[in-house]
Amino acid sequence: MRTPEFWCGEGPLTRILEPFGLLYGAATAWRLARTHPQRVSVPVVCVGNLVAGGAGKTPVALAVARHLRDKGRHPVFLSRGHGGTARGPLRVDPARDGPERVGDEALLLAAEAPTIVARLRAAGARLAVAEGAEVIVMDDGHQNPGLYKNVALVVVDGGYGFGNGRLLPAGPLREPVARGLARASAVVLVGEDRQNLIRRFPATVPVLRAHLVPGPEAALLAGRRVVAFAGIGRPEKFLPVIRSPTTGFMPRSISNPFWTRRSP
C-alpha cells in the first residue's frame, strides 16, 4: 500500500477521518491492556514501528539477524506474512512459496535466515523454537501483545517521522507516540533527523542511529538504463539507489498492483 499523501499534512479528509482514528487508538489500547503475552524459551527481539509502512523496519530486522549470526547465534525470523494468504504457522520455503502466499517481506527475510509466518505470533514463536531458533527476530509486531518481547526496537524514519501525527486512518500512527515509545527498549532512528524527532523521545530510551546504504549490487547498474520496481510503503526512499548509478531515470506510478510469477 502506498502511503496516502494526506498523511503528511492537514486537510478536510484528515478532519473527517479523525473520529475513526480515535476509535482505532482506543481499540489498540484495549487490546494491549487485556491480552496477556505468552513466553517462549528463547529471547524475542521485536523490530516494530509506530506508523503504517515505510519506516524501514525490515532492513533493521535483517541487520539485527546478521549481527546475531556474526556473534554465533542462530536467529529465526517471525513475520505476520503481510500481503499473503497463509495464516500459518509455517516455515517459508522460497522454492515453493510465492508472495501471494507468504507476502514479499517474508521472502526477503527467508533469503537471509529461516523465517516463520504466523498470524498468531505465539504459535509462530513456538514453531521457531522447534526449528532451532536461539533468538527470534520479529519483523513488525510492536502493537501485537500476543508474544512477550525481551527487546522492543522502535524504528523511526528521520525524514518522515510520524507524519501528521494522527491515528489511522486520519494519519499513519498505529498508536499515540508517547504510548508506543513507553514500551520501547530503544529507538532506531533511520537517516537524518529532519523533523527534530529526538526531542520527542523519552530521555530514558536509548536512541540508535542508522542509515540505509545501497548494497554492492548497485555498482552493477553503473551507466545502464534499467527498469526498477518498488513495492514499499514509501517508494521515494528507494529512488536515490537507482538515480545515482544509472544513466536514465523516469519515475512512474502504477496504480494496479501485480505479482511476477515463476514459469511452470
pLDDT at residue 224 is higher than 80:
no
Are 91 and 116 a contacting pair, CB within 8 Å? yes
Among 173, 155, 140, CA closest to 7: 173
pLDDT number for residue 155: 98
Quick one: cell of 230? Answer: 518498488
Predicted TM-score of the model (pTM): 0.88
* Structure-model confidence comparison of residues 239 and 104, the more confident one: 104
Residues ≥6 apart with Cβ < 8 Å to 16? 170
Confidence tier at 29 by pLDDT (50, 70, 90):
very high
For the domain 44-210, what is the CATH code? 3.40.50
The span from the CA of 107 to the CA of 91, in Å, is 11
C-alpha cell at 41: 524459551
Beta bridge mates, 38: 147
In the chain, the percentage of residues whose pLDDT exceeds 90 is 72
pLDDT exceeds cutoff 70 at 82: yes
Confidence of residue 24 (pLDDT cuts 50, 70, 90): very high
CB 82 within 8 A of CB 233: no
Question: Residue ranges per domain, the chain?
Answer: 44-210, 219-264
Q: Which residue has the cell 494491549?
A: 32
Of 130-134, 149-153, 254-258, where does mean pLDDT reach its minimum?
A: 254-258
Is residue 256's pLDDT more than 60? no
| DSSP assignment string, 144-177 | -TTB--SEEEEEEETTTTTTTSPBTTTSSBSS-H
What residue type is 176 in one-letter code?
A: P
* 31-40 residue pLDDT tens: 999 999 999 9
Q: Distances in Å between the alpha carbon of 150 and those of 21, 37, 40, 48, 88? A: 29, 11, 10, 13, 23
Torsional sign, CA 117, 183, 185, 39: negative
Instruction: Give 262's pLDDT tier (boundaries 50, 70, 90).
Output: very low
CA distance 116 to 175: 26
Which pLDDT score is estimated for 34? 95
- When pLDDT is cut at 50, 70 and 90, the band that residue 217 belongs to is confident
Span 154-211, pLDDT tens digits: 999 999 999 999 999 999 999 999 999 999 999 999 999 999 999 999 999 999 999 8
pLDDT of 21 over the 80 cut: yes
